[in-house]
Chain A
Amino acid sequence: MSRSLLAIRGHSPEALEEMISLGQRIRWAAERGKAPFAPGPSKTIGLLFFENSTRTRVAFEQAASLLGHKVVSFASSGSSISKGESLKDTILTLKFARLEAMVIRHMASGAPTLAARHFEGPVVNAGDGQHEHPTQALGDAMTLLERKGKIAGLKIAIVGDVLHSRVARSNIWLLHALGAKVRLVGPRSLMPANTSLFPAEVFYDLRTGIAGCDAVMCLRLQRERMTDGILASIGEYAASYQINRSTLKAASPEAIVMHPGPMNRGVEIDDHAADGPQSAILSQVANGIFAKTAALAWSLGEEGRAAS
């Protein structure tokens, strides 16, 4: 069965656990030098990146290669997209190019939903605007399981620019579905005006927000937030919300520090938090690839090929 992964919200805990456990099995095999998948027919997967991203695109290329599939990449520059072609027409064109699945990153929230409507085959959302980034959250869940052994019952703080973060929007739903207590921490200007539909508690003070937490997820602060008056200055933000040696003391002593990357060292995170013993950031990078592999396999209905 093929199916799309457009968002975490709306998926059952069972489906999400299935993807995560698939990712864990892929990692287990890969770490032992074994083939994570039994051989199968090679397919062609389109990677449509309407927004620049080297890390995510490379991770999906690796994921496809673990599955034994070929990728065709489309970037927004140098293609018909830069000539003013609509998203719908791009998708319709690619459908006839016999792609078996499509991975899409787009600056507009909801673009993968539109893509899925016209593509008809499985679509994996690789990040859409400020909406969701489901495969990042799946990898983060694998990291939490690796480092903490479980997710149910954990207290997890997501800290920073929640308003503009698709990573936050996927993690909130995934962590909630898996039984964690989710906290959102950040200044009011970077928090949605109304969070009543999120299964999460909101804090505007960093130390209160991360107090006793088992994991602290930092979000990337984008520098363009300074220009539109949302933040007065980088320095002021860092002074109040940076995760560092001192502020981390408010969290549980065993707390892990996470960051989806790329990091602004010295802004939302300092070297101690990023590189110290509590950091799980490199593990997130590795798990990101396995989670993307699992998401592709799940979308293509190929989970049966995975090593058990």
Chain B
Amino acid sequence: MKILLRNGRILDPSQDIDTFGSVVIEDGQITEVGPEVNEEGADEAYECRGLWIAPGLVDLDCRLWEPGFTHRESIQSGTRAAAAGGFTTLCVQPNTSPALDAAALVSFLQEKASAPDAGGVFVAALGALTLGQEGQRLSNFSSLKKAGAVGVCDEGGPLQSAGLMSRAMSHCVQLDLPLLAHCEDLSLSSGGAMNEGAVSALLGLKGIPRTAEEALVWRNASLSQATGCPTVLQRVSTWGSVMAVRQFKEMGAPVSCTVLPQHFCFSEADMLEFDPSFKAFPPLRTPDDVALIQQAIGEGVIDVIASGHCPYAPYEVDVPFSEAPFGFPGLETTLAATLTHLTQKGILSPLETIRRLSTSPAELLRLEAGTLKPEGTPLAQVVVIDPNLEWTFDASRSFSRGKSTPFHGARFSGKAVLTFVGAEIYRDPALPSSRYEGS
């Protein structure tokens, strides 16, 4: 089987390539990339004029909710949503039930994700940092790693003890295992429903102060520097967190950080009507934070844009604001939100867009992804993006089981139109197939 992606704009940040040309996928592998490729014997050819050809997107922050919460999402529905959003590799958070704190659970997840009825994307586990995510005893990192976990994370039970975090980092250095940190001081955030500020005061909702995030960004960055543990600070949302990351990077600490689209698209000013679909963690901050977050993404202080995919069943969300859960689905909107709010505005170049969404996350977790190098990945992971496609996101028609998101009804410009993992796993149905076919 030989697939030809012809005459597109090839973007591969892993080799700093931004050029026009074609990509050949043969027997599931990328075999040729360049302005001149051997087109002979192609079984399928896609005309990609005006489109981008890039490595498939890599997500460091999503929940497929298996095992334990299949009323919210499943591996099947979540991986299909991923393919539709241009993602080809997902790192799933360990806050399942039971938590991903043991090798058997990691194996279960990988097996289920590679079944034929799943969406076809790679799914890698982030192991729970502590047993049962209780913040008391560290999980067995080496057996998690042997089973295939690509990192450990305290998602679901943010580690409050600095001492335990420091020891976890030492183990990670020893085992050469990346650590992802959920930065939240529970003594400051507990009971809060949105950003502590002018709007929470207006609505009479308990606020989550920015210091609940910033204090632990500083602590975890400082521990990362002290131990030498490569640490991904998840979901920075305030300008104070950005300053901390910038400073620790300048001091040579092995820290990096991720951001979610909601933190560069929305602010607390969008939340005056008690709409639970805006309830995010970290909470939506101020318009000033949004501006500085955008700038920091452009400058590369923020390394990765993640989906934060966190769907819920409709009945879980249709409750008073303070009782609603934090988070919403993101796999089908992350690329479009990035293209619309950052790339189109010139904050990110096309190459840097792909770097934030694919190459950087892959490099940080040392995944075989995020590149168009022949033989660079076990199977070709490629996404074809129409950077100018105007479309409206209708959450009720999404692949994800979660339908409540502030991006419902959003106008986007830019979309993944074809996704490949070895073979085609997603094709935008609204598009005329003739545009992409015919050789």
Task: Show the binding face of A for B, using Cβ within 8 Å.
Answer: 9, 86-88, 106, 108-111, 113-114, 128-132, 166, 169, 192-198
The CB with the most chain A CB atoms within 10 A, among B196, B200, B202, B273, is that of: B202
* Contact in complex: B315, A86 (CB < 8 Å): yes
* Contact in complex: B201, A194 (CB < 8 Å): yes
Which residues on A sit within 8 Å (CB–CB) of B323?
A: 108
* Contact in complex: A193, B209 (CB < 8 Å): yes
Query: B314: nearest residue on chain A (CB-CB)?
Result: A88
Query: B323: nearest residue on chain A (CB-CB)?
Result: A108
* Contact in complex: A110, B274 (CB < 8 Å): yes
Report the Cα distance A97→B318, complex, angstroms.
21
Which residues on B sit within 8 Å (CB–CB) of A128?
A: 204
Task: Show the binding face of B for A, using Cβ within 8 Å.
Answer: 196-207, 209, 273-274, 315, 318-323
* Contact in complex: A88, B318 (CB < 8 Å): yes
Given A130-B205, A166-B204, A169-B204, A196 contacting B320 (CB threshold 8 A): no
Q: Return the contact of A193 from the options B204, B207, B320 (Cβ within 8 A).
A: B207
* Contact in complex: A132, B201 (CB < 8 Å): no
Which residues on B sit within 8 Å (CB–CB) of A109?
A: 203-205, 274, 320-322
Given A86-B315, A114-B274, A197 contacting B201 (CB threshold 8 A): yes
Query: A195: nearest residue on chain B (CB-CB)?
Result: B201
Report the Cα distance A129→B196, complex, angstroms.
16
Given A113-B273, A197-B198, A132 contacting B319 (CB threshold 8 A): no
* Contact in complex: A194, B321 (CB < 8 Å): no
Which residues on B sit within 8 Å (CB–CB) of A110?
A: 203, 205, 274, 320-322
Which residues on A sit within 8 Å (CB–CB) of B318?
A: 86, 88, 114
Query: A10: nearest residue on chain B (CB-CB)?
Result: B272
Q: List 14 A-B contacts (CB under 8 A).
A: A9-B202, A106-B320, A108-B321, A109-B321, A114-B319, A129-B204, A130-B204, A169-B202, A192-B201, A193-B207, A194-B201, A197-B201, A197-B202, A198-B201
A48 to chain B, nearest CB (A): 13
Which residues on B sit within 8 Å (CB–CB) of A193?
A: 196-197, 201, 207, 209
Which residues on B sit within 8 Å (CB–CB) of A166?
A: 204
Which residues on B sit within 8 Å (CB–CB) of A194?
A: 196-198, 200-201
B314 to chain A, nearest CB (A): 10
Which residues on A sit within 8 Å (CB–CB) of B197?
A: 193-194
A93 to chain B, nearest CB (A): 15
A194 to chain B, nearest CB (A): 4
Query: A128: nearest residue on chain B (CB-CB)?
Result: B204
* Contact in complex: B320, A87 (CB < 8 Å): yes
Query: A113: nearest residue on chain B (CB-CB)?
Result: B274
Q: Return the contact of A196 from the options B198, B206, B274 (Cβ within 8 A).
A: B198
A197 to chain B, nearest CB (A): 4
Report the Cα distance A110→B315, complex, angstroms.
17
B416 to chain A, nearest CB (A): 34
Report the Cα distance A67→B267, complex, angstroms.
44
Report the Cα distance A128→B321, complex, angstroms.
12
Q: What are the 6 closest A-B residue pairs judged by CB atoms, nearest first?
A: A192-B201, A110-B274, A130-B204, A108-B320, A131-B204, A111-B320
Report the Cα distance A88→B207, complex, angstroms.
25
A31 to chain B, nearest CB (A): 34
Report the Cα distance A63→B323, complex, angstroms.
31
Which residues on B sit within 8 Å (CB–CB) of A114?
A: 274, 318-321
Which residues on B sit within 8 Å (CB–CB) of A192?
A: 200-201
B381 to chain A, nearest CB (A): 42
Report the Cα distance A132→B201, complex, angstroms.
11
A116 to chain B, nearest CB (A): 10
Query: B209: nearest residue on chain A (CB-CB)?
Result: A193
Report the Cα distance A268→B271, complex, angstroms.
33
Which residues on A sit within 8 Å (CB–CB) of B322?
A: 108-110, 129
B25 to chain A, nearest CB (A): 48
* Contact in complex: B319, A88 (CB < 8 Å): yes
Which residues on A sit within 8 Å (CB–CB) of B198?
A: 194-197
Report the Cα distance A196→B288, complex, angstroms.
15
* Contact in complex: B203, A131 (CB < 8 Å): yes
A246 to chain B, nearest CB (A): 31
Query: B202: nearest residue on chain A (CB-CB)?
Result: A197
